[in-house]
Amino acid sequence: MARIQVNPNRMELLKLRKRTAIAERGHKLLKDKLDELMKQFMALVQESRNLRREVESRLADAHLIFAIARSEVMTEEVEESLSVPTMDLEVDVDQASIMGVRVPRFEVRMEGAIDCYSLLSTPFSLDAALLYYRDLVPELIKLAEMENNVGLLAQEIERTRRRVNALEHVLIPSLKETITYITMKLDEMERSYRTQLMKIKSMQEELAGRG
């Protein structure tokens, strides 16, 4: 691990110890955040997975009923019946926060009727299929919201993990190694200083004995 290049003195030692304490606190906070992000992420993944299974099952039912409707009338008649929609759909986008991650929130508003065609010229199965599709719209948008949020959380988890690893495996070890180096240097300087003092004292005593 690369040592930080600083002058080996007590002032730098104090600074490095303070930096180490801050880095260790930051590491703990980020680790706690990472753990909570993972919990939120796994819960959201499971929830979106369950919703996707439900939506895909209901979509399959809707497709089946619509296929039955198309088999009962000509394709041109179906296309003509659906050519002038009378239902309006709006999606309002807001924002929310999951562990500090800004995520979108979609709110669906639907107005109008789905039966934009003559009920006399179309089969009942077409009504049933369109009702299925209409009821699925909010669920599809909710699924899109959840899967988008899964992606955003995954990105934040990766960013947080990189920061945790950088602190744990790079910065903190470098700080500690530098602290150890400076401590050893200071101890060495102190031993050298004491040796010099002892020599001076011994010389003074020797001179005093000669006098």
Give the domain ranges of the chain: 10-202
Q: What is the pLDDT of residue 120?
A: 53
Q: In a structure prediction context, what are the per-residue pLDDT tens digits for the chain, which is 211 residues long? A: 678 888 889 999 999 999 999 999 999 999 999 999 999 999 999 999 999 999 999 999 888 988 887 787 666 666 665 666 667 778 889 999 988 899 999 988 887 666 655 555 566 777 777 788 888 889 999 999 999 999 999 999 999 999 999 999 999 999 999 999 999 989 888 888 888 888 887 777 777 766 5
Long-range contacts of 114-120, Cβ-Cβ distance < 8 Å, separation of 24 or more: 114/86, 114/87, 115/86, 116/81, 116/82, 116/84, 116/85, 116/86, 116/87, 117/80, 117/81, 117/82, 118/81
Q: Are 41 and 99 in contact (CB under 8 A)?
A: no
Q: What is the pLDDT of residue 183?
A: 92
97/16 Cα distance (integer angstroms): 35
Element (H, E) at 88: strand 88-98
pTM of the predicted protein model: 0.76
Q: What is the pLDDT of residue 81?
A: 59
Q: What is the pLDDT of residue 82?
A: 63
Q: What is the pLDDT of residue 1?
A: 62
Domain 10-202 classification at class level: mainly alpha
Q: What is the pLDDT of residue 46?
A: 96
Q: Are 9 and 185 in contact (CB under 8 A)?
A: no
